[in-house]
Structure 1
Amino acid sequence: MFSGKKKDTDFLALLIEAAENTLEAAKVFREAMSGSSALAPYFDKLKELENKGDQLTHSIFKGLSKVFLTPIDREDIMELAMSVDDVVDGIEATIARFDYLNIDKTDDFMKEFAEVIVSSCEHILEAFKLLSKKKYSEITEHAVHINSLENEADRLMREGIRAIFVSPKDPYHDFKIKELYERLEQTTDSCEDVANILDSVVLRYA
């Protein structure tokens, strides 16, 4: 039988693995947005990473149902697991829109969004590593960066939508691009959700 401490280490390791998976998805998405190759090959790859994220979240939830001792409140573990999974879900949902909306080109706004998402995921991973080491006070810096990146995503969405209406093209195409910008911004909102949960953890444990 595992000790409570061993189980605690497993939960934090699973959160780190989930963050690593999400960061990998963000980097694959950034590559897709670079415009250097066709988008189709990325659809299946990101779906695989999204499925892996679901499996990791399931493992965390299943583990929580079997143990009493956890390294931090089980509600915090659940919320962190769900929120980081929301990020990879958002990335996959965005690339899926390129498929079913029949969009085969990216633009500069999409490339900048991809950079913001990668940077946010890098900060999430580093924060989770600090969480596993109980270095709570150092987590705040990463949460602040994630919040700043979400503000940058808000700006990108506003400017992207403004550009659509300043230089309108085909209305149907413009609608599809607007939906993509909005979905990308929602993905950065999910990153900010992770940061907000981390802030609450810091307040309780630092």
Structure 2
Amino acid sequence: MARKQKFDFFGAMEHLADDALKSSNLLNEIIKDFDTDKLSEQSKIINKIETDGDDDVKEIMHELYIAFITPIDREDIVQLVDKLDNIIDGINGLTYEFHYLDLKEMRPGTDEFMDLIVEAVEAVQYSVREFSHFKNSKSLAKNVDQANHIESLGDNLYTEQLSILFREKDIDPIDVIRWQKVYGGFERVLDACEDCADVITGLVIKNS
């Protein structure tokens, strides 16, 4: 009987990171050409990525349970997988917010948030790809630092946009509530990217 091929844990984590980047690019398309008539179908694509990601996480957890040897400690894989899953969940959650908050158009500044999110997820995706050979990587630390730097820029943008929102005259109070939630969703995705970068930093130190 053929022997089962050894499960590629690093490859599985890279696949989750790729899906996170794919989701961020799709969300970018939604926001930069916002059309309520297209939103439902566009959201389904991101939701499918998130659902498939949940299945991938379950597979990784099963393989961790039955594996005799893993490339790094089991709890470290669980931690990194969880942080990657949080990024995808956060992006998917934003599309649901667009629906239930009944948004009709994007406010000025949303493009800037989305640019930061795509850049942060790109930095995370590259960092995860480099992680399997971190001892020889010349760019891993740079990309981890980039994700952290972008999160700081996101904090500044969040504060700036909230300030504009609350100072805007003649705005519907419901719109204030709507956009406060949306801006919070953007910030959660950026926080998730920073969390993932911080985990990678810790794992590099631990395994060096």
Give the match's secondary structure for 1:126: helix
Residues 21 and 52 in structure 1, CA contact (< 8 A), matched pair in contact too:
no
One-letter identity of the residue aligned with 2:40: A
Q: Supply the distance in 2 between the matched residues of 1:69 and 1:149 (Cα, whole angstroms).
A: 36
Map 1:9-48 → 2, pairs under 5 A: 10-35=8-33, 37-38=35-36, 39-48=39-48
Residue by residue, what CA displacement relative to the aligned partner does 1:107-151 show, whole Å, maximum 9, x if unpaired? Answer: 232211111111111111111111123445642211100000101
Aligned to 1:152: 153
- Structure 2: tracts of 5 or more residues without a match: none
Assess, with a 3 A threshold, how the Cα gap between structure 1 residues 35 and 107 changes in structure 2: closer, same or farther: farther
Q: Supply the distance in 1 between the matched residues of 2:43 and 2:4 (Cα, whole angstroms).
A: 39
Aligned to 1:187: 189
Assess, with a 3 A threshold, how the Cα gap between structure 1 residues 37 and 102 changes in structure 2: closer, same or farther: closer
Q: Supply the distance in 2 between the matched residues of 1:42 and 1:108 (Cα, whole angstroms).
A: 21
User: TM-score normalised to the size of structure 2?
Assistant: 0.91
Shift of 1:44: 0.9
One-letter identity of the residue aligned with 2:151: E
One-letter identity of the residue aligned with 2:185: R
How many residues of Structure 1 are paired with residues of Structure 2 in the alignment? 202
- Structure 1: tracts of 5 or more residues without a match: none
Residues 86 and 190 in structure 1, CA contact (< 8 A), matched pair in contact too:
yes
Q: Supply the distance in 2 between the matched residues of 1:180 and 1:76 (Cα, whole angstroms).
A: 31
Q: Supply the distance in 1 between the matched residues of 2:34 and 2:176 (Cα, whole angstroms).
A: 23
User: TM-score normalised to the size of structure 1?
Assistant: 0.92
Map 1:43-62 → 2, pairs under 5 A: 43-62=43-62
Map 1:32-111 → 2, pairs under 5 A: 32-35=30-33, 37-38=35-36, 39-111=39-111
Residue by residue, what CA displacement relative to the aligned partner does 1:38-60 show, whole Å, maximum 9, x if unpaired? Answer: 43332211111111111111111
Residues 139 and 198 in structure 1, CA contact (< 8 A), matched pair in contact too:
no
Q: Which range moves more in the overlay, 119-128 or 89-98?
A: 119-128
Residues 94 and 183 in structure 1, CA contact (< 8 A), matched pair in contact too:
yes
Q: Which range moves more in the overlay, 166-175 or 20-29?
A: 166-175
One-letter identity of the residue aligned with 2:56: L
RMSD: 1.6
